[in-house]
A and B are shown apart, each in its own frame.
Chain A
């Protein structure tokens, strides 16, 4: 019995000490990570909706729109949608700016876990204005052979943003 309990207890103690060490490091690094993420979000928002002056986070539409949209920023110039989706790997976050005419003003992937070699041909096209000017009525997917999952996820995120805009505007009319 002792020969089974001791090893388990020692493994448990090592896990506990590891957790405590990582918690301590997290206390130091988490605020810095959050600050950098906030700065990157602000920078991305300026890129996807250049006319935006003061985008404000709003929770009003949360229940009406797709759950993949994790944040909606409202501005006089339009809306900025933050969509979280899964390509080859989870954790792809795409910011999409939609102007007051319902057209895409810009898109940017702010985080992803995709393989760089396969993600590069997707992002090179999408973030050079592929979706700019598209609306719900003339939306066209951009699929890349060999990077199908990444490109499909990106297109899906943009589509979700356009659908959310339609719902918001439909609700306001």
Chain B
């Protein structure tokens, strides 16, 4: 039981890291990782919203009807984001100014809506909170790694403090959009290599074998679904043609 709870937390940190493995939340990742300070605070804010929204949505999972679940999730998530915004503006205004417009954009962060849809609505409140903690820690970790690279090598600073030797040889493009994408892509490639199973099947784009969420997803693989759809259409066309010939 304890191992299962621990596994839920640990999954979000490495194996299903939302930024580096699931490639979710790319917008705040690239926008706030120009400095370590803003990246860490963005991670903390998103984690608080993620934990609270997971808990609330899990608690309401038997109440919210299927047909309006997405609008309900958005309202719940927006409530927590607005609460965090107001609290930061009142008591930590410097962080509120630092995060700027990206604080409000947490509402449409794919990680939060994705975990609500994939996990919180199917699991208990405790498990959902643990999932939120794991995913949140994974998010902060990913933001921290990317921001350290971008700020140290790109700006020659760490947490706004200039580093003497490195600041003379900085690469400014890393603090801009192209550099952000470059660093992000390289880290994803490194993570893919490190987590690749030794001697196992190489991860395919649309197969369930390599998908980190395979154990939770009830669908067959995307390629199988496509084949099934094509077969169904062909069969339907054949039936229609036979009926036409019979009527003629």
Q: Shortest CB–CB separation between residue A124 and chain B, in angstroms?
A: 16
A10 at the interface (CB under 8 A from B): yes
* Cα–Cα distance between A21 and B76 once the two chains are bound (Å): 11
Residues of A within 8 A of B75 (CB): 11, 14-15, 18
B interface residues, tally (CB under 8 Å): 24
The answer to the question of B63 belonging to the interface, with a C-beta cut-off of 8 Å to chain A, is yes
Q: Are B72 and A25 in contact (CB under 8 A)?
A: no
Stretch of A26-34, A59-67, A72-80, A127-135 contacting B (4+ beta carbons < 8 Å): A26-34
Complex alpha-carbon distance, A14 and B83, angstroms: 16
Does B90 sit within 8 A of A, measured CB to CB? yes
Contacts of A26 in B (CB 8 A): 86
Asked if A10 and B72 sit within 8 Å, CB to CB, the answer is yes
Which B201-239 residues sit within 8 Å CB-CB of chain A? none
**CB within 8 A of A18: which of B34, B64, B76, B86?**
B76
A29-B90, A36-B93 are contacts. A22–B83 as well, Cβ < 8 Å?
Answer: yes
What total count of A-B pairs have CB within 8 Å?
55
| Chain B residue at minimum C-beta to C-beta distance from A22 | B82
Please name the residue on chain B nearest to A29 by beta carbon: B90
Report chain A residues within 8 Å CB of B60. 14
Q: Whole-angstrom distance between the alpha carbons of A79 and B83 in the complex?
A: 37
Chain B residues 60-78 with CB under 8 Å of chain A are 60, 63-65, 67-68, 71-72, 75-76, 78
- Distance to closest chain A CB from B27 (angstroms): 13
* CB-based nearest B residue for A31: B90
B79, B93, B176: which contacts A21 (Cβ < 8 A)?
B79
User: Which interface class (under 10, 10 to 19, 20 to 34, 35 or more) fits A?
Assistant: 20 to 34
| Docked pose: A169 CA to B89 CA in angstroms | 38
Q: Is the interface of A mostly helix, strand, loop or mixed?
A: helix
CB of A171 within 8 Å of the partner chain: no
Provide the residues of chain A in CB contact with B89, threshold 8 Å: 29, 33
Contact B65 A10 (CB under 8 A): yes
Residues of B within 8 A of A28 (CB): 90
Query: In the complex the two chains form, what is the Cα distance from A115 to B78 in whole Å?
Result: 22
Q: Is A170 an interface residue (CB 8 A)?
A: no
Chain B residues with Cβ below 8 Å from A50 are none
> Interface centre among A14, A26, A30, A36, by most B CB within 10 Å?
A14
- B100 and A113 contact, CB distance less than 8 A: yes
Whether A29 touches B86, Cβ cut-off 8 Å, given contacts A10-B64, A11-B68, A113-B100, is yes
B240 within 8 A of partner (CB): no
Contact B101 A11, beta carbon cutoff 8 Å: no
Quick check: B100 and A18 within 8 Å, CB to CB? no
Q: Which A residues touch B67, using CB under 8 A?
A: 7
Partner of A25 from B65, B76, B83 at Cβ < 8 Å: B83
Give the residues in chain B near A116, CB-CB below 8 Å. Answer: 100
Chain B residues closer than 8 Å to A30, beta-carbon distance: 90
The 9 A-B residue pairs with the shortest CB-CB distance in the complex, in nearest-first order = A29-B90, A32-B90, A18-B79, A7-B65, A7-B68, A29-B86, A11-B68, A33-B90, A7-B67
For the complex with contacts A10-B68, A21-B79, 14 further pairs of A-B residues with Cβ separation under 8 Å are A11-B68, A11-B71, A14-B75, A18-B76, A18-B78, A18-B79, A22-B79, A29-B91, A30-B90, A33-B90, A36-B93, A113-B101, A115-B101, A116-B100
20 contacts between A and B (CB under 8 A): A7-B67, A7-B68, A10-B63, A10-B64, A11-B68, A11-B71, A11-B72, A14-B60, A21-B83, A22-B79, A22-B82, A22-B83, A22-B86, A26-B86, A30-B90, A33-B89, A36-B90, A113-B100, A115-B101, A117-B176
